[in-house]
Structure 1
Amino acid sequence: MLLRTLPSIVSISLWFAGLLLTSMAGSAVAQSRILATPGAMQVEGAAGGGLVPWAVIGSYANEGEWGASAALTKVAVQDFSLTSAALLVGVNNRFEFSYGHQTLRLGDTAADELSTASAGAYPYLTIEQDVFGAKAKLLGDLIYGDLPQVSVGAQYKINRNADLAEQVLGAESDSGVDVYLSASKLYLNAVAGRNLLLSATARYTDANQLGLLGFGGDKSAALVGEFSAALLLNRHWAAGVEYRQKPDLLSSVDENAWADAFVAWFPSQRVTLVAAYADLGNIALWDKQRGWYLSVQINN
C-alpha cells in the first residue's frame, strides 16, 4: 500500500539518489569492462536498449566488482509523454538489480477529449508505475566464445493509478510480473569492419502497454518477442533499431508493437546518451503515437 501512495516527486528524488549512488560507487570499485558493452538502460530500468532489455548486465562492473547506473528518460509522442527515472546495480557482471519509476501523462488535447468522453471523470490523467527488476547471467559471453550471452530476468510492476484501465478498458489487476529470457552477442568486424550487436528476448507478460494500462484483460497472458540490432560506428557511437511485440490482451483497444531507430553516444564510461525516433502505435483511445526518445545515463 505504501508503494501506491508515494508522491510523484519520486522521479526527481530517484534521479538524484542514483547520481549519489553512482558517485559513491565510482570511488570504491574499478571499472574494467569495455566501453559501451553494458548498453544503456531501457524505460523499465533494465540494461539493454531503450525499449527492450538485453542479456548484458548493467554498469561497468566486472568479476569481483559492483557498479551502479542512473538514467532519466523522456518519451514524447502526439498525445502522451512518458518519463522514466531508474537506477540499477550490477554485481560481478553476473547479477543486476534495478528500480524504475514511470510517469505517463496525457497531452492537453487528449486530456480534454477524455474528460468529455468520460463526463469529466478523468480530466487530468497521470499514471505512475513502479518497476522492480532482477536479472542473472546464465551462460555465454557478449564478446568472447561462440555462445551468446544468455540471461534470465523478471520485472515486478505496480500501477498506482489503474482506475481508468480497470473501469473503462477492462484490465483485471494493478500489478503483474514479466519474466523474460534474453540472448545477446557482439560480432566483431561484422559489417564493413565494424562490430554488430544482435539481441533477442522472449517475454511472458500480462502487462498492457508495459503495465501503464493495467494487467490482464479478456485474453490470457502472452509470450512475445523483442529484438535489437546495433552497429558500433566507432568506440563512442552506435546506431540501431529495436522492435517490441505487445500482448494485446484488451478487446476494447488495440495494442500495437513498439519500434524505434536510435543513436547512442558513449563519450566515456561515466556518461551514456541515447536519442531515438519512436513509433508506439495505438495507446488506449489514441492511435499513431510517434515522437522522440531521449535518455541521459550516468555510470560509476
Structure 2
Amino acid sequence: MRDTIQLRQCLFVLSMMGAAGGAHAQVLRPDLGKLLATGGVSQVEGAGGGGLVPWALISGYGSRDSWGGNVHLTRARTQDFALDTRGVAVGIADRVELSFARQDFKGSLAPLDRLHIRQDIVGVKLKLVGDAVYDQDRALPQLAVGAMFKHNKGVGGLGALNVGSVMDLGAKDARGIDVYLAATKVLLAHSLLLNGTIRASKANQMGLLGFGGDRGDGYKALLEVSAAYMISRKLVAGVEYRMKPRNLGIDNEKDAYDAFVAWFPNKHVSLTAAYAGLGDITVLNPKRQRGLYLSLQTGF
C-alpha cells in the first residue's frame, strides 16, 4: 500500500512538472505577434533598424510574451571596396535584443586591392519606455538604449606597406564600445516611421579602421536619423543619414547616407536594397565611395 501511495505521488509530481513545462514552452514559443515590418531590418552592425542606423525597435516578431530572431546576409559594394556582413539577432519579450555580426571589408583597387579587414560586433539593446506602434494616442516615441562591443581583428594584405593592424594606420585601439540612445515613432495614420539616434563613439569607419586616432581619442556625440514611408503593408522606402567622428589623419572620413527600399513578403523573409554614400575611406584612395547595398534577412 505504501509503495502504491508513493508511486501515485511520483506520478502526480511528474504530471505537474510536465504541465508546467508545457506552459513554459508555450510562453517561449515564437508567436509572431508583432505587426509586419515592425522589427525593422538588420542594420550593418547587426542591430535591428535601418541599413546604417539602429532603431529603438526590437528585432524579431515575438510579442511581450514571447521571443523572435533572425539571421542576415548583407553586401555593400562601392567603386573600390566591398563590405560583407553576416549575423544573428534575438529579441526577448519585445524588451531586450542581443545580436552578433561579423564584418569583412575588402579593397579592389591598388594599392588596397589585397586589403582585408575583419571585425566582430556584439550588440545589446534595451527598450526603456513607449511603444512605437501601439502608442498612437501619445506623442512619446519608443526609446531604447544600446551598446555595441567591437573587436577589429587586424588588417590583412598590406604587408608591403608595413601595416598589419589598425594601430599602424594611426588608431589608438583595436577594440571599442559604441553606446546609443534611439527614439522611434510609427505614425500609422500617415504611413510614416521616424527615428533619431544619438551615438557616443570613437569608431573610425564603424571600427573597421580602429578607434580613436591622431586627431582625437575621446567619445563624440554623433547624430543618426532615419525616415521611412510605408508604400504598402509589405513595402517600405526611406532615407538615412549618419555622422562620423573624423579621428584619423589618414582617413578624411565623411558622413554616410542611404536611400533604401525594403520588401517584407511575410514575417519570415525580408529583402532590402539601397543606394549608399560612404564618403572617403582612406587617403590612399581619396574618391568618395558610393554604391549598392543588398541585405537578405530570414527569421521569425
> By the TM > 0.5 criterion, same fold?
yes
Letter in 1 for 2:199: R
Does the 8 A contact of 2:132 with 2:185 survive in 1?
Answer: yes
Q: Is it true that 1:202 corresponds to 2:198 in the alignment?
A: yes
Please list the CA deviations of residues 151-205 of structure 1 after superposition, one character each: whole Å capped at 9, or x if unmatched.
00000000001534311x3101110000000000001222xxxx10000000000
Supply the distance in 1 between the matched residues of 2:203 and 2:89 (Cα, whole angstroms).
Answer: 22
Residue 144 of structure 1, CA deviation = 2.4
Residue 66 of structure 1, CA deviation = 1.1
Task: State the secondary structure of the residue aligned to 2:225.
Answer: strand
Residue 30 of structure 1, CA deviation = 1.2
Letter in 2 for 1:98: S
Task: Give the structure-1-normalised TM-score.
Answer: 0.84
Residue 125 of structure 1, CA deviation = 1.3
Does the 8 A contact of 2:29 with 2:66 survive in 1?
Answer: no
2:125 is matched with which residue: 130, 135, 143?
A: 135
Mark the runs of 5 or more structure 2 residues left unpaired by the alignment: 1-25, 156-163
Residue 126 of structure 1, CA deviation = 0.5
Residue 124 of structure 1, CA deviation = 1.9
How many residues align? The count is 259
Supply the distance in 2 between the matched residues of 1:42 and 1:197 (Cα, whole angstroms).
Answer: 16
Of all paired residues, the percent bearing the same amino acid is: 46
Task: Give the structure-2-normalised TM-score.
Answer: 0.84
Letter in 2 for 1:211: G
What residue in structure 2 maps to residue 17 of structure 1? Answer: none
Mark the runs of 5 or more structure 1 residues left unpaired by the alignment: 1-24, 115-122
What residue in structure 2 maps to residue 269 of structure 1? Answer: 267
1:153 is matched with which residue: 126, 146, 161?
A: 146
Q: Is it true that 1:180 corresponds to 2:150 in the alignment?
A: no
1:236-275 alignment, distance < 5 Å = 236-275=234-273
Please list the CA deviations of residues 59-94 of structure 1 after superposition, one character each: whole Å capped at 9, or x if unmatched.
001111011100000000011000000100100000
Supply the distance in 2 between the matched residues of 1:28 and 1:139 (Cα, whole angstroms).
Answer: 24
Structure showing greater radius of gyration is 2
What residue in structure 2 maps to residue 60 of structure 1? Answer: 61
Letter in 2 for 1:161: G
What residue in structure 2 maps to residue 103 of structure 1? Answer: 104
Letter in 2 for 1:215: F
What residue in structure 1 maps to residue 43 of structure 2? Answer: 42
Supply the distance in 2 between the matched residues of 1:225 and 1:88 (Cα, whole angstroms).
Answer: 24
Task: State the secondary structure of the residue aligned to 1:280.
Answer: strand
- Cα RMSD over matched residues? 1.4
